[in-house]
Amino acid sequence: MADKYKSMTELEANTNENDDWEIETRDLEGDVIITAIHGGGIEPGTTELADWTAQKGNFDYFTFKGMRSKGNEELHVTSRHYDEPVLMEMIKPKSKAVALHGCVGETPIVYIGGKDQQLIQEMTHQFEQLDIKVDQAPERISGAHDDNIINCCQTGAGVQLELTAELRKMCFENHKYNKKSRENESNRSQFMDDFTDAMVNAIQNAKQCLKN
């Protein structure tokens, strides 16, 4: 489905903050950022995964959360048109940038894309250690374009993870990702703990490789 709004600036000018959507950030002025730009009810589960990963790794964090009871899909703006000023400012100095997205799928799969090949390799290894299937992202969600927001970091190369609906549901004990389920921290599963650990380990390993 085509996006209703052609850019984030257009979306924010025609919708209401705190009613339709909200932005959450933690700017620790570090060199890594974890993002969920289609969070809340847009691509459910991505906000919670990004938040927990960032907390564990002490990384910077950004999410744009759809807040509506229905119709959150109208708040989706593709990554190549994501001119959200807060995120654009936060991401510029980062050496590592990761975007968590949601896609359809009844099998738990991570479709991995972006331009940071070293981090892609590290993440692929970490996920496969958990017996999670990892596939190269198809062209339409490849995250490989220069104007994709995740590649607007200092290095010009980030990583985009597209997580199937089944994988995101596995992050919650009741296997549901409606608002009540995903915002209940006691409903987080061991799988979610392991998955977020894997992302942190991959980022730390990739950073260490840069130093060596």
Quote the domain boundaries for residue 181: 8-211
Is residue 5 over pLDDT 80? yes
In a domain, 152, yes or no: yes
CA 103 distance to own-chain centroid: 11
In a domain, 1, yes or no: no
Residue pLDDT, tens place only, 88-109: 999 999 999 999 999 999 999 9
Task: Give me the CATH number covering residue 107.
Answer: 3.40.630.100
In a domain, 148, yes or no: yes
> In the predicted model, what is the mean pLDDT of the chain?
96
In a domain, 157, yes or no: yes
Q: Which two tokens stand for residue 122?
A: 């590290």
Higher pLDDT, 140 or 6: 6
Instruction: Identify the pLDDT of residue 162.
Output: 97
In a domain, 3, yes or no: no
Residue pLDDT, tens place only, 50-91: 999 999 999 999 999 999 999 999 999 999 999 999 999 999
Please choose, from the candidates 46, 52, 118, 109, the residue with its C-alpha nearest in 3D space to the C-alpha of residue 75: 46
Whether the CB-CB separation of 112 and 134 falls below 8 Å is answered with yes
In a domain, 45, yes or no: yes
- CA pair distance 193, 71, nearest whole angstrom: 30
In a domain, 24, yes or no: yes
| pTM for the whole structure | 0.97
Instruction: Identify the pLDDT of residue 210.
Output: 67
**Bridge partners (DSSP) listed for residue 35:** 62, 99
> What is the total count of domains within the chain?
1
Residue pLDDT, tens place only, 165-206: 999 999 999 999 999 999 999 999 999 999 999 999 999 999
